[in-house]
């Protein structure tokens, strides 16, 4: 059965952190569902790139997924105010499913109460809000949580998601395909 990932999309998302992992997951034949949190199908990123969501969070929130992917960027503050991303992260964690967050998105994991006693990393701009953050590690996996620092680590992060869902051989094959 094909693995499914729910990717949350909100205005102000960081383009590289969103598109690179989606691309790598899809190369690994993982179904990635891009869901707009606010409901609009065309969502403008931090750098002005417009990405078309395939659906809305309201339409797919109850569907089964194997991993929750929360991209970073300034839009994370909107996700925090909305609150549904933190609730979803809690639900995934309680079900033993992986939760992945990059850049500022580990703030959502903090809001969900998932970082206590865990190793994690995040973008330097949010280190003050995340006691215990590992600032010198690019991608950190602790149990079912996968975190990464930012745009410069997006490919490594995406491959970590592939590895989590599809195994090391598939991650190595995808890395070879992109000449990494």
What's the whole-model pTM score? 0.98
Q: Catalytic site residue 166?
A: no
Reference 36, options 58, 63, 3, 69; nearest CA is 58
Percent of the chain with pLDDT over 70: 100
* DSSP H or E stretch at residue 161: helix 154-166
What's the pLDDT band for 123 if we cut at 50, 70, 90?
Answer: very high
pLDDT at 1: 83
Strand runs labelled E in the chain = 4-9, 31-36, 42-44, 50-52, 55-56, 67-70, 99-102, 139-142, 145-148
Mean pLDDT computed over 159-178: 98
pLDDT at 159: 98
Catalytic residue among 68, 103, 140, 162: 103
Domains along the chain? 4-174 (3.40.50.880)
């Amino acid at each position: 059965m094909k693995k499914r990932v729910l990717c949350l999309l909100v205005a102000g998302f960081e383009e590289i952190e969103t598109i690179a992992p989606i691309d790598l997951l899809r190369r690994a034949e993982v179904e990635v569902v891009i869901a707009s949190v606010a409901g609009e199908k065309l969502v403008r990123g931090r750098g002005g790139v417009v990405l078309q969501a395939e659906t809305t969070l309201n339409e797919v929130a109850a569907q089964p997924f194997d991993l929750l992917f929360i991209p970073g960027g300034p839009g994370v503050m909107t996700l925090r105010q909305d609150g549904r991303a933190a609730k979803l992260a809690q639900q995934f964690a309680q079900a033993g499913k992986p939760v992945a967050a990059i850049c500022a998105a580990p703030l959502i994991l903090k809001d969900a109460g998932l970082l206590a006693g865990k190793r994690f990393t995040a973008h330097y701009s949010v280190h003050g809000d995340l006691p215990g953050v590992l600032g010198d590690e690019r991608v950190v996996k602790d149990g079912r949580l996968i975190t990464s620092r930012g745009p410069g680590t997006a490919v490594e992060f995406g491959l970590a998601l592939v590895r989590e869902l599809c195994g090391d051989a598939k991650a190595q094959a995808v890395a070879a395909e992109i000449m990494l």
